[in-house]
Every structure is written in C-alpha cells, then in structure tokens.
Structure 1
C-alpha cells in the first residue's frame, strides 16, 4: 500500500467506509496506464489522457467557468486527478460538491498515485458512485476523459450525461429557420387540414395490452410468434414504427397502426398497396406522396418542436412525445390510447449479432455496423455495439417509462440494450 493511498484511505474510512470497501474490491482490475509529459504531466489510461499534460490547473479553471457562478451545489462526474475539485472548492458560495465516480478502478489507481486527502476531507464534499443514482443531477460538469472510461456499473449515467451534453446540438437538426423544413411543412398543410387529430384515438383502448414494434435485429426471431398472435381473435393492439412496417407485411403481419415522424421516410418504406387496414399516425413534413397514397385512415399529430409553432393555433393537434426516435411517439401513442401494458419488440438500441435492423440491409437506414464506436450493456450484462445517437434514444425511452408507472413495460430480447424500467416478457424472452 502506497503512502498516498494510506492517507487517502484514512479519510475514506472515516467518511465513506462502504465506498472504500467497494474500491478495494475493484483494486485488482487491470488498467493500461502510462505517464504522459509535456510542460507538465498527466496519466493516460487505455490511451485516453485524463487531463491536460501542459497545465492541469488552467484546464480545471476553464472547466469550472462552464458551471454557473453562485451555485451552492455542484455535481461533478468523474474525479480526474483532483484538479477541478480543488478549483471548485475555492468558491466561497459553494455549500456542496457532489462527486460521482464513473470508474471505480480508475479512482482507486489515482488514490495510490496522488494525495487526494485535502479535498476528500472537505466537509462540503460528498462522494458516491454515479451508478447509485437513477438520473443525473444539475448543474453538472462531466470530465470528458471519464465519459470515455466509464465502467459498466456507471454506464447508464454516462449515457444520460452524454445525452444532456448533446441536447443543444441535436436540436439544431430541427432548426425552425431551415428553409427546407419550412417548405416541407408548407407542402403538408393541405393534408394536415384534411386529416383528423390524433387525439381522436386517445383513450380508445383502455386497459388493452399493446405491442410496440421497432426494427432492431431481435425482431426477426419474433416474427413467427407475432404472426400467430396477430391471427388470434383476441389479441394485443399492434403499433409499429415506420421502418418495421414492411418487414411485418413480408411476414404476413398487418399492424393496426404505423407511426412515422421522419421527413426522410419515403413511399418505399411505407408502400401503400396493402395499407387499407392500417392506420397511419404522422407528423407534418412527412412525404406528401406517401401520405396522399395511403389507403388506410390517417391521423396527424405534433411534437413539442418549435417547428410547428406557426401552425398550432390555426390547425390544433395533440402532441406525441419525440425524443429523437420514432419509437418514442409510438410508445406515447400506446399510453395515450389507454394501454395497460406495453411489450416492446425490436427495441434493441444496439447491433446484436452485428446486424443493424430487421428487414433492411446494413447501412440502408443509417450508418453501417462498421461505423459503430460505442457500446451499451445488453440483458446479459455484456457490452454490445451501438451508435451514440442510439444511446440517447434509449435514455429518452427510459425516462418516458419512469414517468408512466401506471403502465407495465416489457422487453422481448436480452440481446439488445437493457432498458431500465422494463421486465423481460417470459413468453418471448425466457
């Protein structure tokens, strides 16, 4: 045991003895570490530099500037080498600095190499594993290096932190000043005025079970069972996302409702030939050729996007929740229609088996599998490849589920991402 670790451990034993026990258990985890030198020095872990190698203190002061001045409480995700903690504790107005660990083995390593006892002993500091919480807290700063190095236990919180950090950038994709999007909205107005409000569907299926069907790779294995259920006289309501519609039809499964919100969806995604028995729920800016040729009932809806601000008053429509993916409004529709339970199919948010979607080739609906650089935990607790935006969609679905405790949510595959708030359906996922 190093002299530094002994000193640090004494503080931890006094203030957080249970946390120290967890750290000691993680002490055996091997980390690839090397010293990186410049004008100063830092550590590189698994090829990720923890801090600046030139001026750690200047970097910490710059990071601190992103947090609102005058805050009595600040949340810091990742411990780094202790620099940002010390800078924040210089603030006289700070009453509480909550430090959330993102990698226990990494923190244990730092405790062996550097004296951290000064800030650990500060009575304003609270220390916990990030994964002990279900949600992130504001205001926060997350150390970029530790977002990359977050371990499995803290991965859910890491995903929420990244989703929050990317929120402003994601919203720019739907900029109200974008003339292309404004023209799409203008083109859709005649049909929008003609089609009824999605609110007419609300509360029409009170107490009914509902299947919400997405297009993840795990859907393929469930198609025969879904076909059998669809043929039953009494069965759940089938709601699918737009890209799942064609794979379902090919398997002989006619969904009751298909939901589409993406202006990139075209008629080859939603061919109208066999659509008479399927209701289409859409948001403006969907391809007008697709809409005009749809043979089944159509219902229109809005999201909370500012894009619809100028038409809301003239053409009122109910809102469905959109968190970046069409699975969100499909699930929200099921809830608002009165579903007592919702079973998710193909909601993988990942690429199990190194496949991207059911019924579509690699890269047809988005980046190819070779472009995936991120991971989530699957239902077996193993890492499975994914895209960064998929992790954000997963976060928003989990938040939605948490806000609707009156509905039972089930998942049907352990191969895809673990979805917090769901149970595994024993009929489909033994």
Structure 2
C-alpha cells in the first residue's frame, strides 16, 4: 500500500467509510495503465489520457471557466487526477462540489498514485458513484476521458451525460427559422387543418393492454407469436413505429396504428396499398405525399419542439412526447389512450444478433453495423454494440417511463438494451 493511498484512504474513511469499502473492492490491477509524458505528464488508461500531458492545471482552468462562476453547487462527473477539483474549490462562491465517480477502478488506481487529500478533506466536497443516482444533476462538468472509460455500473449516467452534452448538435436539423422546415410545414398545413386531432384517440382504450412495436432486431423473434395474437378476437392493441410497418405487413401482421414523425420517411417505409383499415398518427414534418396516399384514418399532433410554435397557435392540436425517436410518441400515445400495461417489442436501442434492424438490410435505415463504436448493457448484463443517438433515445424513454409509475411497462427481449423502469415479460422474454 503506497503512502499516497494510506493518506487518501484515511480521508475517505473519515467521511465516506462505505465508499472506501467499495473502492477497496475495485480491481485496479486489471487496468492497462501507462505514464504518458509531454511538457508534463499524465496517466493513460487503455490508451485514453485522463488529462493533458502538457499542462494539467491550464486544462483544468479552461474546464472550470466553462461553468457558471456564481453557482453555489457544481457536479463533477469523473475524478481525473484531482486537478479540476482543486481549481473549482478555489472559488469562494462554491458551497458544494459533488464529485461523481464514473470508473471505480480508475479512481482507486489514482488514489494509489497521487495525493488527493486536499480536495477529499474539503468540507464542501461530497463523493459518490455516479450510478448511485438515477439521473444527472445540473450544473455539471463531465471529464471527457471518463465518459469514454465509464464502467458498467455507471454506464446509465454516462449515457445521460453524453446525451445532454450532444443536445444542441442533435437538434441542428430542426432550427426554427430553417427554410427547409418552413417549406415542409407550409406544404402540410392544409392536411393538418383538415385531419383529426390526435386528442380524439386519448382515453379510448382504458385499461387495455397495448403492444408498442419498434424495429430492433429482436422483433424478428416475435413475428410468429404476434401473428397468432393479431388473429385473436380479444387481443391487445398494436401500435407500431413507421419503420416497423413494412416488416410487419410482410409477416402478415397488420397493426392497428402506425406512428410517424420523421421528414425522411417515404413510401418505401409506409406503402399505402394495404392501409385502409390502419390508423396513421403523425406530426406535421411527415412528407405530405405520404399523408395524401394513406388510405386509412389520419390523426395529427405536435411535439414540444419550437418548430411547431406558430402552427400550434394557428391550428391547435394535442401534443405527443418526442425525445428524438418515433418510439417516444408511440409509447406516449399508448399511455394517453389509456393503457394499463405496455409491452415493448423491438425496442432494442442496440444491434443485437449482429443486425441493425428487423426486416431491413444493414444500413438501409441508417449507419451500418460496422460503424457502431459504442455500447449499452443488455438484459443479460453484457455489452452490446450501439450508436450514440440510440443511447440518447433510450435515456429519454427511461425518463418517460419514470414519469408514469401507474403504467406497467414490459420489455419483450433481453437481447437489446436494458430499459430502466421495465420488467422483462415472463412469456415473451424467454
């Protein structure tokens, strides 16, 4: 045991004894750790530098400058080498610095190598594992290196942090004054005015079981059972997202409702030929040509996006929740229709079974499997490949579920991402 670790351990023992027990159980010896030198030096874990190798203090000051100087509370995600903690604590306006560990083994290793007692002993500091909390705290700074190195236990919070950091970039296609957005909304205005308000569907299925069907690869395992259920006289209501519509029809499964929100959806995804008995629920950014050709009933609503502000005032319709993916309004619709329990099919948010989507070729609906560089934990506790936007969509669905405790949510598969707030369905998830 190094001299640094003894002092650090004593500081943690005095304030957070249970936390020290957890840190002592971390396997820091398994880490691939190297000293990296430049004008200064830093620690590299699996090729990821924890800090600058040239001037750690200057880097920490630049990071601190991005945070509100007058905030009495700051949340720091990642422990680094202790540099940012020290800089933040120089601010007399700071009353509490909550440090959230993103990788327990990395922090345990740093405690062995460097003296961290100065910030550990500061009474304004609170320390804990990020994964102990269900949600991120604001305002925050997340150390970039530890967003990459986050361990399995803290992965859910890592995903929320990355989603929050990328929020402005993800919304770049939906600028309020974009000419493309304005043109699409203008072209759909007449249909929005004449089509039924989605609110007319709210409350029409009280207590009913509703299946919400997405396009994840695990959906393929359920085609046969869904076909059997669809043929029953007394059955759940079937709501599917737009990209699941064609694969379902191909399998002889006719959904009751299709939900579409994306301006990129075309007739390839929503062929109109067999749609006479199927309800389409849409947002105004959907291609008007798709809407015109649809043979069944059409219902329209809005999301909370500012792109719909003016149209909402001129043509009032109800609102559905959208968190980046069509899965969100589909689930929200099920809840607002009165569902007592919702079973999710194909809601994988990942690429299990080395596939991207059910019923589509690799890359037809977006990036190819080979482009997946990120991961989430599946229902077996294993890492499964995914992409960043899928992780963001998962975060938003989990937040929605947490906000509706009276509805029971079931996941039909363990092969995709584990969805917090859901229970694995005893029949479908076998």
TM-score normalized by structure 1?
0.99
Within 5 Å, which residues of 2 pair with 1:6-405?
A: 6-405=6-405
Are the aligned partners of 2:28 and 2:108 in contact in 1 as well (CA < 8 Å)? no
Deviation at 1:310, TM superposition (A): 1.6
With 284-293 and 154-163 compared, the bigger mean Cα shift is at 284-293
Question: Which structure 1 residue ranges, 4+ long, deviate > 6 Å from structure 2?
Answer: none
Deviation at 1:29, TM superposition (A): 4.8
With 315-324 and 177-186 compared, the bigger mean Cα shift is at 177-186
Work out the CA distance in 2 between the residues paired with 1:287 and 1:359. Answer: 22
Q: Report SS of the residue matched to 1:218.
A: helix
Work out the CA distance in 1 between the residues paired with 2:29 and 2:21. Answer: 14
Are the aligned partners of 1:187 and 1:285 in contact in 2 as well (CA < 8 Å)? no
Work out the number of aligned pairs and report it: 430
Deviation track 1:50-105 (CA, whole Å, cap 9, x = no partner) reads 10111111110110111111111111000000000000111111111110000000
Work out the CA distance in 1 between the residues paired with 2:196 and 2:233. Answer: 28
Work out the CA distance in 1 between the residues paired with 2:173 and 2:193. Answer: 26
Deviation track 1:199-240 (CA, whole Å, cap 9, x = no partner) reads 000000111110000000000000100111111111111000
Work out the CA distance in 2 between the residues paired with 1:200 and 1:325. Answer: 23
Deviation at 1:285, TM superposition (A): 2.1
Are the aligned partners of 1:214 and 1:240 in contact in 2 as well (CA < 8 Å)? yes
Work out the CA distance in 2 between the residues paired with 1:313 and 1:384. Answer: 44
Deviation track 1:106-146 (CA, whole Å, cap 9, x = no partner) reads 00000011000111011111110000000000111000000
With 408-417 and 300-309 compared, the bigger mean Cα shift is at 300-309
Work out the CA distance in 2 between the residues paired with 1:182 and 1:313. Answer: 15
1:29–1:390 distance in 2 versus 1, CA, 3 Å: farther
Work out the CA distance in 2 between the residues paired with 1:283 and 1:16. Answer: 50
Deviation at 1:27, TM superposition (A): 3.2
Are the aligned partners of 2:50 and 2:80 in contact in 1 as well (CA < 8 Å)? yes
Work out the CA distance in 2 between the residues paired with 1:242 and 1:29. Answer: 48
Q: Report SS of the residue matched to 2:35.
A: strand
With 4-13 and 386-395 compared, the bigger mean Cα shift is at 4-13
Work out the CA distance in 1 between the residues paired with 2:388 and 2:322. Answer: 17
Work out the CA distance in 1 between the residues paired with 2:27 and 2:379. Answer: 26
Work out the CA distance in 2 between the residues paired with 1:109 and 1:278. Answer: 58
Deviation track 1:19-59 (CA, whole Å, cap 9, x = no partner) reads 11111111355111111111111111111111011111111
TM-score normalized by structure 2?
0.99
Are the aligned partners of 1:35 and 1:43 in contact in 2 as well (CA < 8 Å)? yes
Q: Report SS of the residue matched to 1:313.
A: helix
Work out the CA distance in 2 between the residues paired with 1:255 and 1:239. Answer: 6
Work out the CA distance in 1 between the residues paired with 2:88 and 2:378. Answer: 37
Structure 2 unmatched ranges of 5 or more: none
With 208-217 and 67-76 compared, the bigger mean Cα shift is at 67-76
Q: Report SS of the residue matched to 2:135.
A: coil
Deviation at 1:172, TM superposition (A): 1.7
Are the aligned partners of 1:284 and 1:300 in contact in 2 as well (CA < 8 Å)? yes
Work out the CA distance in 2 between the residues paired with 1:75 and 1:307. Answer: 32
Deviation at 1:352, TM superposition (A): 0.3
Work out the CA distance in 1 between the residues paired with 2:160 and 2:309. Answer: 28
1:29–1:299 distance in 2 versus 1, CA, 3 Å: farther
Deviation at 1:147, TM superposition (A): 0.2
Work out the CA distance in 2 between the residues paired with 1:311 and 1:154. Answer: 41
Work out the CA distance in 2 between the residues paired with 1:136 and 1:32. Answer: 28
Q: Report SS of the residue matched to 1:211.
A: strand
Q: Report SS of the residue matched to 1:357.
A: coil
